[in-house]
Amino acid sequence: MPELPEMETYRRLLQQQIVGLTITDTHVEREKTINMSPDPFAQILHGSRFTLIDRRGKHLLLHLENSHVLLLHLMLGGFLYLGTAEDKLSRTSQVTLSIGNRILYFHGLRLGYLHLLTSEQIDERLSELGPEPLAPSFTPAQFSQQLSGKRGILKTALVDQHWLAGIGNCYSDEICFHAGILPTRRIPTLTSEEVTRLYHSMQAVLKEAMQYGGYMETPLYKGDGLTGGFNDRCRVYDRGGEPCLRCGHAIALDKLSSRKVFFCTHCQN
């Protein structure tokens, strides 16, 4: 499932590619992907320009000049492609938006959604999300204070979107590995020094992942050299049984509340 770095990569690239351009046509293949009938959906979008691409947690917000916002959550398996009708991918798209001579394809939204909302509805919809981990206002002290009220497993807290927005399966494991702490640790056992390490590891891992375009495999458009650059830089995620890049011992794969969890039992504690 795309996480903060993947959605931030989409945000940056779409901000460059489509802001200021006008939606000239829409097509809805799967009505359940949107939150209204296709006709009013098309009527509101047709002729409106994109003014800003924003992100909140794992959500992408495509702002329009008519004060509406397209709220996108890709969930598991969703991804975007921006291209022409000639270079489109051989994949079914649930929604397409024509923008001049290019089309923005929304693929894999069987579980995800693209909802058209007003600014007020957006605020209400996202009001229960936790803080952004890379926000300047999210300090080590705030992180420590939030952890002090938790009694469960570290990974479970890190992927809780109501507690902290944007981190999922991949980056929770990568952050814990970077900090040298097992993701299966119970939060009350963490020392103040370990909490500080976790905070700085969270900053370092997410910023590195953003720098390299996250782990999405499909480029957003032809010539996109950014998307997916972090895929080969994961230290533990999806590397079960492979040698640890830090100590050489085998990376362990386990399950935690039906989630896969990857870690090194030798250099994480």
Active site residue ranges? 2-3, 58, 259
Tell me how far apart the alpha carbons of residues 34 and 114 are, in angstroms, rounded to a whole number.
Answer: 5
Other CB atoms within 10 A of residue 162 CB = 9
Residue 191, number of CB atoms within 10 A of its CB:
9
Half-sphere exposure of 87 (CA within 13 A, CB side): 13
3-class state of residue 23 by DSSP: strand
User: Taking Cα atoms as reference points, which of 75, 118, 81, 108 lies closest to residue 97?
Assistant: 81
Placement of tokens 């040698």 in the chain: 243
Vertex 61: Cα angle to 138 and 156 (nearest 5):
45
**3-state SS track over 117-155:** EEHHHHHHHCCCCCCCCCCCCCCHHHHHHHHHCCCCEHH
Which amino acid belongs to residue 17? Q
Contact criterion met (CB below 8 Å) for 62 and 104: no
